[in-house]
Amino acid sequence: MDVRSTSLSRRAALTGLGGVALLAAAACSPSKEATSTLPANQVPPVPTADPNASIDEQRKIIDGLDKQIIELLKQRGEAAATVQKIRTSGGGQQTDPAREQAVIASYTAGLGANGASVAKAIIGADGGTAATPTSTTATSTSH
């Protein structure tokens, strides 16, 4: 099985879990435009003679990163809800399409082709209208 079909299968399995699952699927998909960098406090793993040990080590790293991502997504959601509450209480619009486009552009610059999908999934999880995986239109957000 090639990497693309694995990524698509993972994406298909995760889409039932909501927008944040799309984030995980898109982030795991290979991107030719952007290279991955490790967090400042993390050194690249050294492959061992036992491939299963190396896989277990990588899964521990992934689990730790997933916990951090989940916490950051919770914090981001709270901040986005506050922005939306402030904007609507002052009579403003619930969404800010220009801000959304800036967020999408930022993620695309940082993650390459998968960045737009990741941004749209996060925006949808934060209370915006999540784009479907086949949608090419922008969604609205409170960011």
- Tell me which residue has tokens 């003679």: 49
The string of pLDDT tens digits covering residues 40-63 is 666 666 666 677 778 999 999 999
Contacts of range 109-112, beta carbons closer than 8 Å, 24 or more positions apart: 110/34, 111/27, 111/31, 111/34, 112/31, 112/32, 112/33, 112/34
pTM exceeds 0.95: no
Per domain, the residue ranges of the chain are 3-31+51-125
Rounded average pLDDT over 83-98:
90
Hey, what CATH class is 3-31+51-125 in? mainly alpha
Whether 22 and 126 have beta carbons less than 8 Å apart is answered as no
Whether 116 and 127 have beta carbons less than 8 Å apart is answered as no
Chain mean pLDDT for the chain: 73
Rounded average pLDDT over 81-105:
92
Please give the Cα distance from 17 to 35 (Å, whole number): 27
Burial of 113 (0-12, 13-18, 19+ CB in 10 A): middle
Whether 100 and 128 have beta carbons less than 8 Å apart is answered as yes
Please give the Cα distance from 77 to 94 (Å, whole number): 15
The CB density around residue 100, as the number of other CB atoms within 10 Å, is 21
The string of pLDDT tens digits covering residues 115-131 is 999 999 999 888 765 45
The CB density around residue 80, as the number of other CB atoms within 10 Å, is 20
